Amino acid sequence: MAIIHRTTMSPGKLELLAAWMPSKPWYRGGDAPQPAKAGGFRLDDPEGEVGIEFMVVTDTSGGSPVTYQVPMTYRGAPLASAADGLIGTSEHGVLGTRWIYDGAHDPVLVGQLLALLAGAAEAQDQNESSVPDRGVEVRGEGPAAPASPAGDGAEAAAEAGDVTDTADATVIAVGAAGREGPGRVLTLTRVLRPGAAAGEGLLAQVLAPWTDAQGTAPRGTFATLRDA
């Protein structure tokens, strides 16, 4: 289980995100982002080496508040294959220098998200160690089982750089068990909205709550897995 340390990070996560988010096509705010933490959850790395967090932030720098999901990984050394996804580095009060990546580019996060969608991993509380997050729901939608939880398909997709940012999501091609080549599509929602996903090819989705600018707690889709 991941250990949540009560310590400092310099620069902090929100500071790093404020500098990084405007470079992404899904960002809709002003020139000076003002992200505030609005929720999220974590997943455990089975090897215990990589921190995995699905952070939700609300930015109020534009004409109206927009809530984003930013999946992040925290590593003790740089990951060359994920260089395009580097958000920045930070000094952790206990662990030292941490390399922080956009998790869509990190095979560990992709693999564990597939495991969550397959029912082989459990969402963890964002702020407490060894506490499951019961507010995160995995909903199976299709007749076929999701892709292999943490197999070569997830790692190959990330290493090949087959990650595409759109106006409101990040799309990742992943290998499906028993097939050759990318056979399924993993989508990470970036601009969060209330409600569940639907449509052709949907196999599974992750739904979770966050706190919006009005202080209410909508639920929406954080990730989907579909047949390509």
- Say if 34 falls within a structural domain: yes
Question: What is the reported pTM?
Answer: 0.89
- Say if 55 falls within a structural domain: yes
Q: Is residue 5 over pLDDT 70?
A: no
Q: Is residue 162 over pLDDT 90?
A: no
- Residues 56 and 171: their CA atoms lie apart, in Å, by 18
- Say if 3 falls within a structural domain: no
Q: Mean per-residue pLDDT for 75-87?
A: 94
Q: Mean per-residue pLDDT for 202-206?
A: 97
- Residues 100 and 53: their CA atoms lie apart, in Å, by 10
Q: Mean per-residue pLDDT for 3-16?
A: 80
- Say if 65 falls within a structural domain: yes
- Residues 110 and 185: their CA atoms lie apart, in Å, by 12
User: pLDDT, tens digit, for every residue of 97-113?
Assistant: 999 999 999 999 999 99
- Sequence-separated (6 or more) residues with CB below 8 Å from residue 99: 74, 75, 76, 77, 78, 79, 86, 89
Range in 5-19, 56-70, 175-189, 194-208 the model is least confident about: 175-189
- Say if 2 falls within a structural domain: no
- Residues 191 and 168: their CA atoms lie apart, in Å, by 5
Q: In what order do the strands lie in the sheet with 169-175?
A: 137-140, 202-209, 219-227, 182-189, 169-175, 163-165
Q: What is the pLDDT of residue 161?
A: 43
More confident residue, 128 or 193: 193
User: pLDDT, tens digit, for every residue of 112-153?
Assistant: 999 999 999 999 999 888 899 999 999 997 654 454 444 443
- Domains in the chain: how many in total? 1
- Say if 1 falls within a structural domain: no
- Residues 66 and 123: their CA atoms lie apart, in Å, by 24
Could you tell me the two tokens for 120? 């082989």
pLDDT band at 181 (very low <50, low <70, confident <90, very high): low
Q: Is residue 11 over pLDDT 70?
A: yes
- Say if 87 falls within a structural domain: yes
User: pLDDT, tens digit, for every residue of 23-42?
Assistant: 999 999 988 999 999 999 99
Q: What is the pLDDT of residue 96?
A: 74
Domain containing 220 equals: 9-227
The H or E element spanning position 20 is helix 13-20
CA distance readout (Å), 83 to 37, 102, 177? 25, 10, 27
Q: Mean per-residue pLDDT for 75-95?
A: 90
Q: In what order do the strands lie in the sheet with 86-92?
A: 9-10, 86-92, 96-102, 66-75, 51-59, 35-43
Give residue 174's identity as a one-letter amino acid code: V
What percent of the chain clears pLDDT 70, i.e. is strictly above it? 84
pLDDT band at 211 (very low <50, low <70, confident <90, very high): very high
- Say if 200 falls within a structural domain: yes
